[in-house]
């Protein structure tokens, strides 16, 4: 069947008064990759790069690189990858180069692709015995906790979309992740840092001088290493590697301040290093080349920020800004470091606007808008009904205007999530947009959303993958690093006001093995955490921190713990049960596209 007849059939189907279960003629959209993105995959061919004699960077095994520094008295491992199994392969390659013992591990920041593979290189026992030290910024641990506990459920689902976790092999063949090969999601391993610092640390590790510097940029706790003996700069993700930096990540993150990022890049330039070893992509050698990469990267970020702010100050809104702010040719064409494989100018611009001004753009119509479903119903009526709306969506699809086709079909879906014809138009449009995208994040979101629209992501699959992705951010090893405070602080955002609307009650928590006491107070739908247990508190639970960890991993439960003696209870059991019932710890299965 020709393309014309297939799509002509689509238009005919849209033009007829079809029911919600109508089907479109079959059309096979073959998986493809943007040519430049496909060529970019070669950048991440597996190789151990040797730099300045004693620094070795393993590129191509995982999303993030692992770096081995050979010091006189042992090895320093910088970042550990996202996968223990793949990191073991890297360690086997390193062992071909040196049989020295590992003396230190460095976490350059808290993201999973930089810390999750640690137990491929060292054991917890080695660290506990003091044989190996783990270096990190002083805020890394609190960032790990916030990432895994506070927003773990939504971050798990959004990360699955960003990384294309459900995509079939046909959609991933020959692909890369923009900053490295495709990520290999595994439950994380983790060992807490033993040596932390604030702004700067000059030290000697295994007989080698090492300078650490805090350089907030892609992550708030980002640190770099400089080896003065051979002028090697290990730049972490201040230089994000062979791509336009991801000034904002679509999976969700706190504001990444571009001004701060530019300042950090200028601090790296001040070293005038002879070699630069990023934690994504290949090393760069030669002082002039290192300076060029750093300067161009900082200029790219600065340009996007400065021009966004310039036009913000002339009243432009995000939808207008993304059409106005574009990199000039000398920056946009700086391959590969400013090409839009991972970050994009458009989604960076939106983040900058929101970071400075928030969501409100100045038109009061947005203060209390018509609810989405009601708005869709009215617009469909204005268009002359569902059939005419989908006819126009089909026309847009035929003309290659896939964005408009998806937007129009989206109104019908908002009114009826089961509108099969609308879902198929939108899904096909997303596949066309995804396969044409050079940006890996955009591609994955388009294709994952298409799968959701096509009914290929059911609730059980989403729930299971969400659990798997959460284990990337929050594993039993990470739970060991939770304090009683971080455990209970998570309860505050779990309060259900419908169940706690008339309750005023306080429950005390004692953790005798770590000599800590805390109390949760519920006041009519609001929960507050207090340090210490207020005098007169009648309801109390006492447990060891180790049992608390089983609650976080789902292995234990308070009722079971009370029956088995792991939890000691004081006070009226019915009142304690009433208190606990006010909190919502249920995990929901949800998609992100069907709204």
452 vs 394: CA distance, rounded Å:
20
540 vs 532: CA distance, rounded Å:
12
Averaged pLDDT, 524-529: 94
Q: Is the pLDDT of residue 25 over 70?
A: no
- CATH top-level class of 35-357: alpha beta
Q: Is the pLDDT of residue 262 over 90?
A: yes
- Pseudo-torsion of CA 116, 122, 128, 131, nearest 10°? -140
357 vs 352: CA distance, rounded Å:
8
Q: Is the pLDDT of residue 308 over 60?
A: yes
pTM (2 decimals)?
Answer: 0.91
Among 339, 322, 390, 297, smallest CA distance to 176 is for 339
The reported pLDDT for the residue numbered 155 is 84
For the domain made up of 482-580, give the CATH fold: Nonspecific Lipid-transfer Protein; Chain A (3.30.1050)
Q: Which residues contact 112 (CB under 8 A, 6 or more apart)?
A: 82, 188, 472, 473
Q: What is the pLDDT of residues 562-588, one digit of tens each?
A: 888 899 999 998 899 899 899 988 777
Q: Which residues of 433-465 are buried (b: 16+ CB within 10 A; e: fewer)?
A: bbbebbbbbbbbbbbbbbbbbbeebeeeebeeb
Q: Is the pLDDT of residue 14 over 60?
A: no
The reported pLDDT for the residue numbered 467 is 67
The reported pLDDT for the residue numbered 19 is 44
- CATH architecture of the domain with residue range 3-33+369-469: Alpha Horseshoe (1.25)
Contact 412, 391 (CB under 8 A): no
14 vs 395: CA distance, rounded Å:
9
Q: Is the pLDDT of residue 350 over 80?
A: yes
Q: Which residues contact 494 (CB under 8 A, 6 or more apart)?
A: 527, 583, 584, 585
> Which H helix or E strand runs over 421?
helix 420-436
Among 298, 293, 299, 290, smallest CA distance to 233 is for 290
Q: What are the domain boundaries of the chain?
A: 3-33+369-469, 35-357, 482-580
Q: Is the pLDDT of residue 2 over 80?
A: no
Q: Is the pLDDT of residue 15 over 60?
A: no
The mean-pLDDT minimum among 192-196, 219-223, 559-563 falls in 559-563
Averaged pLDDT, 487-492: 89
Averaged pLDDT, 344-349: 98
512 vs 499: CA distance, rounded Å:
31
Q: What is the pLDDT of residues 411-450, one digit of tens each?
A: 999 999 999 999 999 999 999 999 999 999 999 999 999 9
CA 337 from chain centre, in angstroms, equals 21
User: Helices in 22-151 by DSSP H: which ranges?
Assistant: 35-40, 84-95, 112-115, 124-128, 140-145
Q: Is the pLDDT of residue 461 over 90?
A: no
31 vs 140: CA distance, rounded Å:
40
> 106 in helix, strand or coil?
strand
Averaged pLDDT, 527-546: 94
Q: What is the pLDDT of residues 360-373, one digit of tens each?
A: 999 999 999 999 99
Q: What is the Cα Rg of the chain in Å?
A: 27
Q: What is the pLDDT of residues 50-92, one digit of tens each?
A: 999 999 999 999 999 999 999 999 999 999 999 999 999 999 9
Positive or negative torsion for Cα 454, 458, 462, 464: negative
Q: One fold for both 3-33+369-469 and 35-357?
A: no
């Amino acid at each position: 069947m020709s393309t014309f007849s297939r799509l002509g059939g689509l238009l005919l189907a849209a033009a007829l008064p079809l029911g919600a279960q109508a089907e479109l003629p079959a059309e096979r959209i073959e998986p493809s990759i943007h040519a430049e993105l496909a060529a970019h995959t070669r950048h991440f061919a597996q190789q151990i790069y040797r730099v300045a004699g004693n620094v070795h960077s393993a590129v191509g095994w995982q999303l993030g690189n692992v770096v081995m520094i050979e010091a006189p008295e042992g090895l320093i491992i910088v970042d550990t990858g996202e996968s223990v199994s793949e990191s073991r392969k890297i360690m086997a390659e390193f062992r071909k180069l040196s049989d020295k013992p590992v003396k230190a591990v460095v976490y350059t920041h808290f993201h999973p692709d930089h810390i999750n593979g640690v137990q491929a290189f060292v054991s917890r026992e080695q660290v506990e015995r003091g044989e190996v030290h783990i270096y990190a910024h002083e805020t890394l641990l609190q960032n790990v906790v916030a990432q895994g506990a506070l927003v773990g459920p939504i971050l798990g689902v959004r990360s699955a979309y960003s990384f294309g976790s459900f995509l079939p092999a046909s959609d991933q063949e020959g692909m890369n992740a923009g900053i490295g090969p495709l990520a290999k999601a595994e439950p994380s391993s983790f060992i807490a840092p033993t040596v932390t610092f604030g702004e700067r640390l000059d030290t000697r590790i295994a007989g080698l001088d090492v300078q650490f510097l805090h350089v907030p940029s892609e992550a708030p706790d980002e640190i770099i290493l400089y080896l003065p003996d051979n002028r090697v700069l290990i730049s972490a993700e201040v230089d994000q590697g062979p791509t336009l930096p991801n000034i904002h990540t679509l999976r969700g993150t706190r504001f990444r301040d571009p001004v701060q990022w530019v300042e950090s890049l200028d601090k790296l330039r001040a070293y005038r290093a002879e070699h630069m070893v990023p934690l994504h992509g290949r090393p760069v050698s030669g002082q002039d080349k290192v300076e060029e990469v750093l300067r161009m990267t900082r200029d790219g970020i600065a340009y996007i920020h400065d021009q966004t702010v310039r036009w913000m100050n002339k009243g432009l809104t995000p939808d207008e800004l993304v059409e106005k702010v574009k990199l000039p040719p000398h920056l946009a064409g700086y391959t590969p470091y400013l090409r839009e494989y991972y970050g994009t100018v458009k989604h960076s611009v939106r983040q900058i606007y929101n970071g400075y001004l928030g969501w409100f753009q100045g038109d009061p119509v947005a203060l209390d808008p018509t609810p989405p479903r009601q708005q869709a119903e009215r617009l469909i009526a204005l268009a002359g009904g569902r059939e005419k709306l989908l006819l126009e969506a089909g026309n847009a699809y035929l003309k290659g205007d896939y964005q408009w086709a998806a937007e129009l079909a989206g109104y019908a879906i908002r009114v009826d999530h089961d509108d099969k014809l609308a879902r198929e138009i939108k899904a096909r449009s997303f596949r066309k947009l995804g396969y044409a995208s050079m940006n890996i994040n955009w591609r994955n979101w388009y294709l994952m959303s298409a799968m959701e629209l096509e009914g290929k992501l059911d609730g059980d699959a989403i729930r299971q993958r969400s659990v798997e992705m959460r284990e990337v951010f929050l594993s039993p090893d990470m739970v060991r690093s939770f304090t009683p405070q971080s455990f209970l602080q998570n309860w505050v955002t779990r309060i259900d006001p419908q169940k706690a609307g008339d309750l005023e009650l306080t429950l005390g928590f004692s953790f005798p093995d770590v000599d800590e006491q805390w109390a949760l107070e519920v006041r009519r739908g609001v929960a507050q955490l207090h340090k210490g247990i207020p005098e007169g508190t009648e309801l109390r639970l006492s447990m060891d921190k180790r049992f608390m960890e089983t609650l976080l991993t789902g292995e234990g439960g308070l009722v079971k713990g009370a029956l088995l003696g792991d939890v000691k209870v004081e006070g009226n059991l019915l009142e304690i049960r009433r208190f606990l019932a006010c909190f919502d710890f249920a995990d929901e299965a949800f998609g992100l596209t069907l709204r």
